[in-house]
Amino acid sequence: MTRSGGTLSRAVLLPLLVLATIAIVAGRAVRKTEDNSDRSRTEDYITQYEINTERYRVTTEDGYQLIVYRLLPQVPAKGAVLIQHGIRQSSSDWLTLDKNLPMQLLEAGMEVWLGNSRASSESAGHLTYSNDSSQYWDFSFHEIGFYDLPAMIDAALQMSQRKQLHLIAFSEGASATLVLLSERPEYNAKIMSLNLMAPAAFMTNSQFKLVALLFNKIRFIFPMTAQQLLLKSNQLSKNSQKQLEHYQQLILSGRFRRFDHGPRGNMQKYGSREPPNYHLQMITQSTTLHYGGRDSTVHPRDVERLSTQFPKESGVQLIEYDLLDHGDFTSRPEAASNVYPMIVEDIVGKSNQRRR
């Protein structure tokens, strides 16, 4: 193998770029903000509709500042729903389709909360770290689940004066949701139902397996070069290198588990040479997994495997959409006509049952 700059750069950059496409096809302070000087894409979309909207800045336990939007129906709300995006997305990605999911939920009488995870295009930075610091980018979907989702859930419940809400999540948002309810099981009591689209957990059959293997070998042979390119990718792609690395580890290990820091790092952090699995049996809420028959990123077989990890009380349901690929759940009209009505019907039905 040659160490020439051109050959090495292409060898390292190719798997990085392909891995990055996963993103595409992927006591806390709560403050209401009235500043409209720098309108977001979400606000630009919302202005197309006559919707009563509120914008909040939420601070996580570890100092990240998140922006969440509250959309209110024209009638007394039947319940509240938090919708969480995937990797390299933001709340605006839910609003691009004509018959988009938030609008369908509003029309059905639900109060809608649109979440934004740390470092997304609509997040608001950090109390201490600048967005060009390594500390700012030191996170994966684990931290989004452990810190961001609890902060947004608690804010939504506090402001809506409710005890429970429904949670909808796509891809990495689903990964984070599984982390939350596994690692902080007390949040099961705050969730009325889960609807997870293209949930990225087990990824043994992912189309990126060969790429993950290649990148793992490159990291072993040229560790500094691979690390430097990954660090640079933080700013270029607006996602953390650790996010992509964590998914690479899931693909290679065939397990849904904590981030692998290597034997020594794992011993220091977890007390074991291997990172622990997420305890999915802790998830007790009603769960529906929506997946695409053509999804080669989160393969149907991996979603079916995920469904076997939940306890019986979750009553997990599987719904396959034969013609959908991974990114289609947020970008194709077929999702608006086939997937979203199923989710809305499930949520409204459970909300009505709770109100009786």
Residue 223, pLDDT above cutoff 60: no
Shortest CA distance to 95 belongs to which of 144, 43, 56?
A: 43
pLDDT digits (tens, 9 = 90+) for 254-282: 999 999 999 999 999 999 999 999 999 99
pLDDT for residue 100: 97
11 vs 41, higher pLDDT: 41
Binned at pLDDT 50, 70 and 90, residue 238 comes out as low
Place of tokens 């496409």: 21
pLDDT at 356 over 90: no
**Which pLDDT belongs to residue 209?**
73
What's the pLDDT score for residue 17? 45
For 253-301, the DSSP string reads H-S-BS---HHHHHHHHHSSSSPPBP-GGG--S-EEEEEETT-SSS-HH
Arithmetic mean of pLDDT over the chain? 87
* Confidence band of 25 (pLDDT split at 50, 70, 90): very low
Per-residue model confidence (pLDDT) at position 58: 98
Superfamily of domain 22-205+273-355: Alpha/Beta hydrolase fold, catalytic domain (3.40.50.1820)
CA angle centred on 129, ends 128 and 131, rounded to 5°: 145
Query: Residue 89: exposed, middle, or buried by beta-carbon count in 10 A (0-12, 13-18, 19+)?
Result: buried
Mean pLDDT of 330-350: 98
Band of pLDDT at residue 14, cut at 50, 70 and 90: very low
Helix (H, G, I), strand (E, B) or coil at 189: helix
Of 69, 75, 73, residue with least CA distance to 56: 69
What pLDDT is stored for residue 175 in this prediction?
Answer: 99
Most confident of 31-40, 119-128, 153-162: 153-162
Tens digits of residue pLDDT in 58-111: 999 999 999 999 999 999 999 999 999 999 999 999 999 999 999 999 999 999
pLDDT at 18 over 80: no
* pLDDT above 80: residue 52: yes
Of 329, 321, 326, the closest CA to residue 293 belongs to 321
Where is pLDDT greater, at 205 or 231? 205
More confident: 313 or 319: 319
Q: What is the mean pLDDT of residues 174-180?
A: 99
